[in-house]
Amino acid sequence: MKTPIQTALEQYLQKDLSRTHMPGHKGAAFDLLAPVLPYDLTEVQGTDSLYQAEEAIAECERQYSQLYGSKGTLLSAGGSTLCIQTMLALAFLPGNELIAGRNLHVSAVNAMALLDLRPHWVYPRQNPDGIGSTLAPEDIERALVQHPNAKGVYLTSPDYFGVLSDVSAISSLCRSRNIPLLVDNAHGAHLPFLAPPCHPITQGASLCCDSLHKTMPVITGGALLHIGEEKYLPHAKQTMSMFGSTSPSYLIMLSIDRALDYIHTQCRQDLAQTARRTASLKALAQQKGFFVPGPPHLCDPTRLTLGFASVGYTGEQFGQHLRSHGIEPEYLSSVGCVLLMSSFLREQDWARVSQMLQNIHPKPSLSQGPPAPLPVAQSGITLREAIFSHSQLLPVKQCENKICACVKSPCPPGIPIVMPGERIEKNLIKTLKQYRISFLNVVK
Ligand SMILES: Cc1ncc(COP(=O)(O)O)c(C=O)c1O
């Protein structure tokens, strides 16, 4: 039985029951959604229950756990956001200090504020123009020495640009201190099915999240929380239920279930082919003079990240170039873009990307090399105090010595210049202006 949730839902449908339960559409309300609406069920007899899973959902989770080599895996219908809240709550107590890579997603900052955690930031090392960054194990080690009360490490790998950090080395550092390593692998759900396979759980992470919906054929919101240490298993479901909806979407869970069958059959072959084809596009891009993050073994082979400042294009010009070839990118900034390649793209999509690269006529470079290191902001009050404070929006020039109440991250590099709770000193104001940030929410 490879798709237990699908089987359970089909068995329910075969019984032809009167749906005198939620949801209100009764499986039939809209023609537009006719093929899928019957499967949008709820937790009734036969369909199992996400936070007390014993049947179909538990079986689906067991299969995912085997595939990813975890001690246990939980389905999430609330994206990696829900998994991040859950793993931070599982690993830490309110008031705990931790070491965290500063290139983290806002969902992690919000969860840390909710849980009243006290992060000590490690700034990642950046590629030219900020197109990708890595957290160096030696920088993490230094932070662990400086903050001996840190109860664990939180990092993001791969980053949005597909650049991987050395999770194995960082997990060894954590194991030698007997503290957990939490990894946001939201962009890397597909990595175990490529050659060589790679995943934070097999690299020693204690807890890790994967947004299946980002890189696998799964509906938006479908994600996995992997548990690498048995001690977290007993409380995991209850902890997730504190943050998630009591009405998890069965359509999302069904698509996670369907992906099981895909992983068992076609996935590895498809990913190998996607990686080969993406490698050819990367080679073509490099010939043209684009900056492409490397080395290949430390980058997602299915993600086409292009730094175009080196071929003399601005963000606006490159955006026009992409769209004139019928391409909508995942991400476009003033210096780089990210295209997510997949075997589910059509032949014409691959041809368009290739043509788009061939039609580039390089101009004098606008590249500025690796960005200057961001000034390290000093903490004034805790994340939680700042995020839940009364705040006001002020022009940056009026913010000197005020305490920031929001996350301000330029794109790229996606590394916040100021975090909630940090004091906005003169040098930060200069950097904010350099990145064209003109307003900030500050604590009143
Ligand atoms: C690095 C990273 N972590 C976490 C998330 C949140 O994931 P989700 O949208 O699945 O909740 C995102 C979303 O873009 C992300 O980029």
What is d(CA 126, CA 109) in angstroms, rounded to the nearest whole number? 21
Angle at 20 (CA atoms; ends 248, 237), nearest 5 degrees? 25
Cα–Cα distance measured from residue 309 to residue 76, given in angstroms and rounded to the nearest whole number: 38
The pLDDT tens digits for 47-67 are 999 999 999 999 999 999 999
Looking at domain 383-443, what is its CATH homologous superfamily? Molybdopterin biosynthesis moea protein, domain 2 (3.90.105.10)
Distance CA 201, CA 313 (A): 39
> Does the pLDDT value for residue 377 go beyond 90?
no
- Mean pLDDT for 343-348 is 97
Q: What percent of the chain has pLDDT over 70?
A: 99
Kindly report the average pLDDT of the chain as a whole number. 95
With the most atoms of ligand 1 within 8 angstroms of its CB, the residue from 211, 220, 245, 252 to mutate is: 211
Does ligand 1 have an atom closer than 6 angstroms to the CB of 157? no
Q: How far out from the chain centre does Cα 38 lie?
A: 31
Q: For residue range 171-225, what is the model confidence (pLDDT) as tens digits?
A: 999 999 999 999 999 999 999 999 999 999 999 999 999 999 999 999 999 999 9
Q: State the pLDDT at residue 373.
A: 85
Decide if 256 contacts 213 (C-beta within 8 A): no
65-124 per-position pLDDT tens digit = 999 999 999 999 999 999 999 999 999 999 999 999 999 999 999 999 999 999 999 999
Q: How far is the CA of 427 from the centre of ligand 1 (A)?
A: 30
**Ligand 1 probe mutation, 76, 81, 215, most atoms within 8 A of CB:** 81
Whether 383-443 and 269-358 are alike in CATH topology: the answer is no
Mutate to test the pocket of ligand 1, among 103, 107, 182, 340 (most ligand atoms within 8 A of CB): 107
- C-alpha 301, offset from chain centre: 16
For ligand 1, atom 10, the nearest C-alpha belongs to: 79
With the CA atoms of 276, 281, 282 and 283 taken in that order, what torsion angle do they form, in degrees rounded to the nearest 10?
A: 90
Q: Which residues contact 435 (CB under 8 A, 6 or more apart)?
A: 410, 417
First to last CA, the chain: 58
Kindly report the pTM of this predicted structure: 0.96
CATH number of the structural domain 269-358: 3.90.1150.150
Polymer length in residues for the chain: 444
Is residue 163 in contact with ligand 1, taking CB distance under 6 Å? no
Domain residue extents for the chain: 4-264, 269-358, 383-443
Whether 387 shows a pLDDT value over 90: the answer reads yes
Kindly give the pairing relationship between strand 331-332 and strand 303-307: unpaired
Q: Which CATH number fits domain 4-264: 3.40.50.720, 3.30.70.20, 3.40.640.10, 3.80.30.10?
A: 3.40.640.10
pLDDT at residue 172, rounded to an integer? 98
- 234 band by pLDDT with thresholds 50, 70 and 90: very high
Ligand 1 center–CA 430 separation, angstroms: 29
CB of 156 closer than 6 A to ligand 1? yes
Residue nearest atom 7 in ligand 1 by C-alpha distance? 80
Residue nearest to atom 9 of ligand 1 (CA): 79
Cβ neighbour number for residue 348 with a 10 Å cutoff: 10
Q: What is the dihedral of CA 166, 169, 170, 176, to 10 degrees?
A: 170
Residue 231 has pLDDT above 70, yes or no: yes
- Position 436 confidence tier, pLDDT thresholds 50, 70, 90: confident
> What pLDDT sits at residue 442?
96
Pocket test for ligand 1, best of 83, 88, 105, 255 (most atoms within 8 A of CB): 105
CB of 160 shorter than 6 A to ligand 1: yes
State the pLDDT confidence band at 30, using cuts at 50, 70 and 90.
Answer: confident
HEC profile for the chain?
CCCHHHHHHHHHHHCCCCCCCCCCCCCCCCHHHCCCHHHCCCCCCCCCCHHHCCCHHHHHHHHHHHHHCCCEEEEECCHHHHHHHHHHHHHCCCCCEEEEECCCCHHHHHHHHHCCCEEEEECCEECHHHCCEECCHHHHHHHHHHCCCCCCEEEECCCCCCECCCHHHHHHHHHHHCCCEEEECCCCCCHHHCCCCCCCCCCCCCEEEECHHHHCCCCCCCEEEEECCHHHHHHHHHHHHHHCCCCCCHHHHHHHHHHHHHHHCCHHHHHHHHHHHHHHHHHHHHHHCCECCCCHHHECCCEEEEECHHHCCCHHHHHHHHHHCCCCCCEECCCEEEEECCCCCCHHHHHHHHHHHHCCCCCCCCCCCCCCCCCCCCECCCHHHHHCCCEEEEEHHHCCCCEECCCECCCCCCCCCECCCEECCHHHHHHHHHCCCCEEEEEC
Cis peptide before 158 (omega within 30 of 0): yes
Q: How many CB atoms lie within 10 A of CB 420?
A: 30
CA of 105 to the centre of ligand 1 (A): 6
CA distances from 219 to 15, 65, 259, 329, 431 (A): 26, 20, 10, 19, 39
Q: How many CA atoms lie within 13 A of 194 on its CB side?
A: 23
Residue 329 has pLDDT above 70, yes or no: yes
Q: 371: CA distance to ligand 1 center in Å?
A: 24
In the predicted structure, residue 414 carries a pLDDT above the cut 90: no
Q: Would the CB of 183 count as within 6 Å of ligand 1?
A: no
Q: Which atom of ligand 1 is nearest to the CA of 156?
A: 1
Please give the distance, rounded to the nearest whole angstrom, from the Cα atom of residue 81 to the centre of ligand 1.
Answer: 6
Residue 158 has pLDDT above 80, yes or no: yes
Question: Ligand 1 pocket, 291 CB below 6 A?
Answer: no
Q: Whose CA is nearest to atom 1 of ligand 1?
A: 105
What per-residue confidence (pLDDT) applies to 1?
60
Asked whether 80 lines ligand 1 (CB < 6 A), one says yes
Q: What is the pLDDT of residue 412?
A: 66
Q: Is the CB of 141 under 6 A from ligand 1?
A: no
Ligand 1 centroid to Cα of residue 80, in Å, is: 6
pLDDT digits (tens, 9 = 90+) for 143-154: 999 999 999 999
- Whether the CB-CB separation of 38 and 13 falls below 8 Å is answered with yes
Asked whether residue 413 carries a pLDDT value surpassing 80, the answer given is no
